[in-house]
Amino acid sequence: MERKSTILMNRYELGRMLGQGTFAKVYHARNLASNQSVAIKVIDKEKVLRVGMIEQIKREISIMRLVRHPNVVQLHEVMASKSKIYFAMEYVRGGELFGRVARGRLKEDPARKYFQQLIGAVDFCHSRGVYHRDLKPENLLVDEHGNLKVSDFGLSALKECQKQDGLLHTTCGTPAYVAPEIINKKGYDGEKADIWSCGVILFVLLAGYLPFQDSNLMEMYRKISKGDVRYPQWFTSDARKILSRLLDPNPNTRITMDKLIEHPWFKKGYKPAVTLGQPHSSNSLKDVQAAFSTEHKDSEGRKIEVPDSPLKPVSLNAFDIISLSKGFDLSGLFEKDQEQKANSRFMTHKPASAIVSKLEQIAENESFKVKMRDGLVKLQGSKEGRKGQLAIDAEIFEVTPSCYVVEVKKTAGDTLEYERFCQKDLRPSLKDICWSAQAEEKLPPLPESSPRTPASKSITRNAI
């Protein structure tokens, strides 16, 4: 039987499905006016509203609008219906760069060409205040002309996401590609972290396997933290030199983007791409605003109540469990002097709503103001202490659907006042739903759904 085509918004004819995720499906489509092939990303609006991912999607759209570059997948337009959000994006025919490397290592010249295009795109993103944070061959596409395209800005950050110390603090990315300072969880420079990932990608292109491999995840992290890499005998001397600068575990001495572009190995045959002009103006973002209008309805037309700051517990994965465990703290590999941490950690089988309810009770009793967002509960004291008002963050992590870790830490005010508050108010109030998970107690075993695939077999495809 002849398949009946689906016409979207009277503009696109949808074709075969290219991929599928938790909240979205991607289809090949044809622009009815221009006959141009595009990729349509279809996002379930109700699902993302329920889990509080609106801001993340808005940020992804904003970033894709900013980075108009020939080596970055372009976003054409954003559309929306009552139940769906649609991204019309550039269709890249050649598939993932991963597929080409999986067939075997590349020779130096084609590897250099891909690397030059990658660096050109990443440098452009950095010039616009955008840090990708999940660079890997699976997120690099190749078009029919053999040109590289950077995709998937879902974990990207903007410069304004930096905290007062000028650093980013969100732990994200794929472990085999992340910089040592991200494992350290003490804050990192987004540009330098991206440069490290680019170095890992270059190694993979030239070698056909990862530079830091081990069936033991902690051993792999140790190798990453020390920059413990062994080069194959077929690597040229110049390739080894540039990789040693890219995979420098010290971000302060790691090669900068400016020096990388001027490096003799990199400059060989380099032709900078001609950019695509200015980013879209704010007027062209009206479609984005329409997609996230204040009134939201489900597929049956019923209104969905969306809180201003939805609380969504952060999913705690194997990467985070290791870094949270005091016995596996890698910060000593990076810092000689460490201040005493003013934080506490608890575990519970109670749902996030019960944890939040308890924190709200404590806040009300102690005249704290409460703000909630994306798994983080902020308590702001109203009284002036020795060092100003006490401020506390309580972050809720989901280990499994029935197990949560709550990390409470002081963000402002006096440490002694914070400790008194914990002893007198916090711990007694939480004792009926939480138990301590400090150094003397072990974290629970990893859930069965957590990735455990050894990184030593070819190139890992999974972000933990």
Give yes or no for a contact between 352 and 374, defined as CB atoms under 8 angstroms apart. Answer: no
Report the distance separating Cα 414 and Cα 12, nearest Å: 59
Q: Considering the chain, tell me which residue range(s) the CATH 3.30.200.20 domain(s) occupy.
A: 6-91
* Residues marked as catalytic: 134
DSSP secondary structure code for residue 386 in this structure: B
| Closest by CA position to 459, among listed 203, 199, 234, 127 | 203
| Closest by CA position to 204, among listed 102, 72, 299 | 102
pTM for this model (two decimals): 0.64
- Any bridge partners for residue 395, and if so which? 376, 407
CATH of domain 97-267: 1.10.510.10
- Any bridge partners for residue 368, and if so which? 381
What are the backbone dihedrals phi and psi of residue 373, each rounded to the nearest 5 degrees, phi first?
-170, 130
Average pLDDT per run of 10 along the chain, which is 464 residues long?
70 90 87 94 86 81 90 93 91 89 91 96 93 92 94 82 74 87 88 96 95 88 91 95 96 96 94 70 48 50 45 55 52 43 69 77 80 73 75 77 76 80 78 54 38 38 39
Report the distance separating Cα 202 and Cα 141, nearest Å: 15
Extract the tokens encoding 264: 């003799």
**CATH fold of 6-91, please?**
Phosphorylase Kinase; domain 1 (3.30.200)
DSSP secondary structure code for residue 410 in this structure: E
Report the distance separating Cα 222 and Cα 316, nearest Å: 21
Q: Considering the chain, tell me which residue range(s) the CATH 3.30.310.80 domain(s) occupy.
A: 314-333+341-436
Which pLDDT value is given to residue 453?
A: 35
String of b and e for 55-91 (b: at least 16 CB within 10 Å)? ebbebbbbbbbbbbbbbbbbbbbbbbeebbbbbbbbb
- Any bridge partners for residue 188, and if so which? 168
| Strand ranges (E), 47-171 | 75-80, 84-90, 130-131, 140-142, 148-150, 157-158
Report the distance separating Cα 154 and Cα 150, nearest Å: 12
Which pLDDT value is given to residue 193?
A: 95
Q: Considering the chain, tell me which residue range(s) the CATH 1.10.510.10 domain(s) occupy.
A: 97-267
Q: What is the CA radius of gyration of the chain?
A: 24
Which pLDDT value is given to residue 164?
A: 67
Superfamily of domain 314-333+341-436: Kinase associated domain 1, KA1 (3.30.310.80)
Report the distance separating Cα 46 and Cα 28, nearest Å: 23
Which pLDDT value is given to residue 290?
A: 57
